[in-house]
Structure 1
Amino acid sequence: MRHYPNTLYLFLTLLAGLSACVEPVALPIRQTERRLVVDGLITDEAPPYLIKLTYSGNLTSSLLIPEELAINGAKVVVADDAGKSVLLEQDPLNAAYYWVRDPSFRGQPGRSYTLFVTLPDGSRYQSVPERLAAVAPLDQLTAQYHTQSSILGQPDAYLIGVDTQDPPTPGNFYRWESVSYLPRWTKYDPLHPPISNGLSSFCYCSCWVPYFGPLTDVLSDALLNGNRISNRIVFSSPIYAVGNQYVQVRQFSLSRAAYQYWTLFEQQRTRTGSLFDPQPASIEGNVHAVDDTTKLALGYFGASAVSQQRLTIPGDTINYNRFLVRYGNEFIPPDQDCFQAFGQAQLIPPAGYPPR
């Protein structure tokens, strides 16, 4: 066996020298000027309508907006092109939320709507007028059972499809919002927790938990003008327990500018880190400073007509015993009730859905 003592010595010496030269460096965090962020929508449904105003910054996954980012004390007005306007009411519990509650101010197809915002420091912003276009009626929803790979431990799902007839006039744009109320199992009823008696017997109790689809599912009729949109999949509703699922899909009309905004938003959301991804950038919308139209806010103020459908998916299409054999307790939180384990849980199914 041959040895290379000189080579090994030189290598160890070089490694020690490099280690001695490495020191932690605290890089300064780049500070950018905070900007107004607008998120709101006027529809042809009955009020209330919500306009959310914040400053740009780091948001957590919590539903609560940090106090330093909420815009408290703004004056917010929405006006239409017929001269009617409404002053929004600030939410007493969440400073970033401003509401249109006047029942007489309801969006109408064909009208244009403009948002006016005066910030607490006196700076003024307004949106580009947004035309509220009519929307095609949404037909009955469909649900297809989709089997996921058991290796990845993902639940199976119902793929929710929509049907609608695009009008013969070109230039129609669509967006879909979806939510399903999923049955979930927990180890005990939150209203009747188990008695600590040394026994390990628990009941598997159900509650229903909302599960929301993406907000960025959009479509242009550029390639299908005047044709039928058939079984377009807009939502994947996971199956965590055997029981009825309650699904709602809302179909929105969009202006061309709103369609372009949501398309860009989706591109940013689905970036995978490849060389072909678009460069990340702040997504500027249709709201600008009154004194300087080049100073743009983030987010978008929209106006849309809405058509919605609801669907009840019966749980008896799934074999209970096979489901338990396949998943066991995988989707059941340990030693928690529904309120502890799931946000926005409710103990009874939601009302207003068609019978199964």
Structure 2
Amino acid sequence: MKKIITQRYAVKTRRCTEKIIFNYFSVHLRVFTAYLCVAALFSCVDEVQLPIRQTERRLVVEGLITDGPFPWVRLTYTGYYNSSNPAPPELVINDALVQIRDEEGRSVRLVPDPFAPAYYGLRDSSFVGKVGRSYTLSVTLPDGSRYESRPERLNPVPPLEPLRARYRRGLSELGQPDLYDILVDTQDPSALGNYYRWSSLAYVPRWTEFDPRHPPFNPFGPICGTCSCWVPSYGPPTDVLSDALINGNRISGRIVYSVPIMAVSAYYVQIRQYSLTRAAYQYWNLFEQQRTRTGSLFDPQPASIEGNVRAVSDTTKLALGFFGASAMSQQRLTIPGDTINYDRFLINGKRFIPPTGDCYTNFSQPILVPPQGWPPR
């Protein structure tokens, strides 16, 4: 009996040993095979240098004069931009001669802004655009080449009525925040041919590391004093409208901006309503079409959008961008934010609180106190 047990044990031991040896060689065989495959792949790859299309550098002109103070112009060249360096020195133009004149011969020179590369402004706030007059931009570059815009007429704009805000739930399953939709109301004049553009600015409250009602315990001193702030948020500059289908009627409840709800506090919103010429409307409308294309097979090929600035010596040589003249109406709104349930917001809102760093390390241009000039809460 003892001999039979010993034989069975020997058989099991031999089988286990054979299995270990087989697994050992199988693993090494797979590793060796993978190595051969990788080596074969690399040996079959040839580096290909794809040609990069080189285009002639072009002037980019952006500017606006309104019936308010401080017209502005921005001058750059086309080139390679990135988020870490939005104004490369080689593409910024700071030494140009920039002038704005009206049809009556009155002109004013804009000077470079020492704190904002590529921007030109007016230090004299008494020069403002007048409704009914036309304005022309003239630019002389450092190399002596001259560009001029077509005359832009400053058309009147109807007054913007007080703003309204409407709360809207976001798709939390997609990680979207809730929103405040900002609605505008105005009366379109009876005359045909009115064009509008809206620009939006909101100061959005943000928190970092913790929410104010649940600060962490810190036995060594006060908690972070720069972890709660307001951050500017801008809407797209291309929200435009023609009165071709609504002439003489009210523009009511038009959503011009959706402010993301990132914290429970007051929100400060500013909307400006501009008049446009037909040429300016067409430019911004084409700009928006290109901005919102999805890249499908049915989208037209992207192309440079012609503005209204061209070389004086060769009118076929166009600059990119647009110089506009607009009347402006502005409204501001303070949204208290006290209708939002604090604890309910934290269920999904914690994802919008950066876990480390303060406002200065997480956001761009934060302010630690509410902005000035808004109506009280």
TM-score by length of 1: 0.89
**In 1, Cα distance between equivalents of 2:170 and 2:198:** 24
**In 2, Cα distance between equivalents of 1:84 and 1:60:** 39
Give the counterpart of 2:108 among 81, 86, 106: 86
Give the counterpart of 2:365 among 344, 349, 356: 344
Aligned to 1:332: 353
Aligned to 1:241: 263
Pair 1:39 & 2:62 matched:
yes
| Per-residue deviation, 1:52 | 0.3
Counterparts in 2 of 1:298 and 1:202: CA distance versus 1, 3 Å: closer
**In 2, Cα distance between equivalents of 1:121 and 1:79:** 22
**In 1, Cα distance between equivalents of 2:155 and 2:346:** 48
Counterparts in 2 of 1:24 and 1:209: CA distance versus 1, 3 Å: same
Letter in 1 for 2:56: E
- Secondary structure of 1:264's match? helix
Contact 2:226/2:358 (8 A) holds in 1: no
The 10-residue stretch of structure 1 (232-241 or 278-287) with the greater mean CA deviation from structure 2: 278-287
Aligned to 1:27: 50
**In 2, Cα distance between equivalents of 1:200 and 1:351:** 27
Structure with more of its chain in helix, by fraction: 2
The 10-residue stretch of structure 1 (34-43 or 330-339) with the greater mean CA deviation from structure 2: 330-339
- Secondary structure of 1:330's match? helix
**In 1, Cα distance between equivalents of 2:182 and 2:277:** 25
Letter in 2 for 1:24: E
Give the counterpart of 1:266 among 288, 313, 326: 288
TM-score by length of 2: 0.84
Aligned to 1:145: 167
- Secondary structure of 1:300's match? strand
| Per-residue deviation, 1:201 | 7.7
Aligned to 1:229: 251
Matches within 5 A, 1:50-69: 50-62=72-84, 64-69=86-91
The 10-residue stretch of structure 1 (83-92 or 162-171) with the greater mean CA deviation from structure 2: 83-92
Aligned to 2:335: 313
Aligned to 2:3: none
**In 1, Cα distance between equivalents of 2:321 and 2:300:** 19
| Per-residue deviation, 1:199 | 10
Contact 1:188/1:203 (8 A) holds in 2: no
| Per-residue deviation, 1:44 | 0.4
Letter in 2 for 1:31: Q
Aligned to 1:289: 311
Letter in 1 for 2:259: S
Letter in 1 for 2:329: S
The 10-residue stretch of structure 1 (194-203 or 337-346) with the greater mean CA deviation from structure 2: 194-203
The 10-residue stretch of structure 1 (216-225 or 90-99) with the greater mean CA deviation from structure 2: 90-99
Consecutive unaligned residues in structure 2, runs of 5 or more = 1-38
**In 2, Cα distance between equivalents of 1:317 and 1:63:** 40
Contact 1:185/1:204 (8 A) holds in 2: no
**In 2, Cα distance between equivalents of 1:180 and 1:225:** 30
Contact 1:188/1:337 (8 A) holds in 2: no
Contact 1:49/1:101 (8 A) holds in 2: no
Give the counterpart of 2:150 among 98, 117, 128: 128
Contact 2:101/2:136 (8 A) holds in 1: yes
**In 1, Cα distance between equivalents of 2:365 and 2:324:** 27
Report which of the two structures shows the higher radius of gyration computed on alpha carbons: 2
Letter in 2 for 1:37: V
What is the total number of aligned residue pairs between the two structures?
A: 339
| Per-residue deviation, 1:90 | 1.1
- Secondary structure of 2:100's match? strand
- Secondary structure of 1:262's match? helix
The 10-residue stretch of structure 1 (19-28 or 88-97) with the greater mean CA deviation from structure 2: 19-28
Contact 2:62/2:74 (8 A) holds in 1: yes
Letter in 2 for 1:334: P
| Per-residue deviation, 1:338 | 1.0
**In 2, Cα distance between equivalents of 1:293 and 1:230:** 42
| Per-residue deviation, 1:337 | 1.0
**In 2, Cα distance between equivalents of 1:312 and 1:202:** 26
**In 2, Cα distance between equivalents of 1:199 and 1:230:** 53
- Secondary structure of 1:317's match? coil
Give the counterpart of 2:98 among 49, 55, 76: 76
| Per-residue deviation, 1:156 | 0.4
| Per-residue deviation, 1:236 | 0.5
**In 2, Cα distance between equivalents of 1:17 and 1:205:** 54
**In 2, Cα distance between equivalents of 1:39 and 1:142:** 31
- Secondary structure of 1:273's match? coil
Q: Deviations over 1:213-237 (max 9, x none)?
A: 1100000000000000000000000
Aligned to 2:6: none
Q: Deviations over 1:217-258 (max 9, x none)?
A: 000000000000000000000000001101000000000000
**In 2, Cα distance between equivalents of 1:225 and 1:262:** 20
**In 2, Cα distance between equivalents of 1:205 and 1:17:** 54
**In 1, Cα distance between equivalents of 2:179 and 2:146:** 47
| Per-residue deviation, 1:18 | 8.8
Contact 2:226/2:359 (8 A) holds in 1: no
Aligned to 1:354: 375
**In 2, Cα distance between equivalents of 1:125 and 1:295:** 9
Consecutive unaligned residues in structure 1, runs of 5 or more = 1-15
Contact 1:172/1:254 (8 A) holds in 2: yes
| Per-residue deviation, 1:72 | 2.7
